[in-house]
Amino acid sequence: MTQVLLAALALMLVLEGILPFAAPRLWRDTFRRLIEMSDGQIRFVGLISMLVGLALLAFLS
């Protein structure tokens, strides 16, 4: 189980690193827009991300 969690963490880090590596200006602009969002908007984006992730896990299981 630990090996699967570490593999998932490693994959997440690889995926998170693609945009700053490939397009740093786009990443910076996106991050700047994220900072300007309200707490409620950020929470909504987080909720949607979690629901999409859970749906993918359910679909793949």
The CA distance from 37 to 42, in Å, is 6
pLDDT score, position 61:
81
What is the DSSP annotation of 30-54? HHHHHHTS-HHHHHHHHHHHHHHHH
Give me the number of domains the chain comprises.
Answer: 1
Range of the domain at 29: 2-60
pTM: 0.68
Model pLDDT for residues 15-36, shown as the tens digit of each residue: 999 999 999 999 999 989 999 9
State the burial class of residue 7 (Cβ atoms within 10 Å of its Cβ: 0-12, 13-18, 19+). exposed
